[in-house]
Structure 1
């Protein structure tokens, strides 16, 4: 593992190609990250566990365990932003990567400018707040007075505390899933197009693939318990996008 100095934010680059690894390391260090690098999936999982980075760039085609399996293991221990990087323009692999918890993906070759734009957009969103800010009390969230709290049926979201609850149970959401849920709950009567959610949540001109929205909405629905036959909290408006279903 190698490390280059930065300021407050930590990034981990998991990439077996030395040239690409050096390019990503340099690009992120110019954005104020303290950057660690490793060259295999297992080493990446260990580095996440040991160093708790804020951002992980994860190559899909790694030796040992591949990027998809590494992402799955990382998601069990971290809520870091994960950008998956692939040399193959394979839609199925990209979708699988997103379903395992990646927040975004880049296809090789990519420019340093594009990587900077994607990362800067992610970090314009707030990170999860302290665990002591809000706690569920009798199906509600007791939050600090200045916190924005959203409620919709059995769902409660403390926006500033970055915590979401369904009844008395806290939901384990990735940052992107949390941001999607927040946008939908802030305007429950609005039908959001996929393109509008992409602009609002990913907040960058480089994100143009609406598959990002569809996959993260699917992941969010599963965590809300929307299996076959279950009540839908997020409704698909055919040919348009999504909206919150009115509480029953």
Structure 2
């Protein structure tokens, strides 16, 4: 069955071009130009991947992504002409799986769609259960969830991947560049500060789950390690 791609883009000609390129590669596409209409479709019949423009009438892309991430890990690629660092980091921090800036090649977007779908579909693996202060942190790669005593930590997709990379090899020191590799296939346009933002949010959730414990150790000038 063809993977379903929802394209939310208010530039109708551009959306049509993207749809045609994706259809040539066997994807089923739907295009929408309004944010509120997109939100309604996402709630009713979610696609396999969302191509989401930042600037939209009705409801902007950031608001859509923020609302979507409350209940869903649906793969999302942000598409925008705005390249300032704040918007870039905000989109990634909220849980976007990739970020494409205009102008771009439609072939590049198709390649990124395939990469994100492959990455999210192949993320299944063995559950890892490291100990923190005597309690088990369960990292279930099949369900894309981290749990303590059966309770989900409610991590964003980026926070989950970051935790899985670190906790999967306790004691190993990861540089920021290595952690970026764990989160993105191509991070040329992603600042290493994005890692700091994700780590900060992840640490808060771990400290709440394990009072008095901070399993992520910072090694000055080198990187980070998970201490179980």
Does TM, scored on the shorter chain, surpass 0.5? Answer: yes
Q: How does 1:12-31 map to 2 (within 5 A)?
A: 12-31=6-25
Q: How does 1:62-141 map to 2 (within 5 A)?
A: 62-127=56-121
Report the TM-score, using the length of structure 2 for normalisation. Answer: 0.83
**Cα RMSD, aligned residues only:** 2.8
| TM, length-normalised to structure 1 | 0.77
Structure 1 residues 106 and 218: alpha-carbon distance in aligned structure 2, compared to 1, 3 A threshold: farther
**1:140 aligned residue:** none
Q: Confirm or deny that 1:149 pairs with 2:131.
A: no
Asked if 1:194 corresponds to 2:176, the answer is yes
> 1:207 offset after TM fit, Å?
5.9
Maintained 8 Å contact 1:83/1:104 = yes
Count of aligned positions: 223
Q: 1 or 2, which has the higher helix percentage? A: 2
Q: SS of the residue aligned with 1:155? A: strand
Corresponding residue for residue 218 of structure 2 = 236
Runs of 5+ consecutive residues of structure 1 not aligned to the other structure? 1-6, 131-146
- Per-residue deviation, residues 199-239 of structure 1 (Å, max 9, x unmatched): 23323476654344334334433443469x96323233333
Q: How far apart are 1:98 and its partner, in Å?
A: 2.0
Contact 2:48 2:74 in 1 (8 A): yes
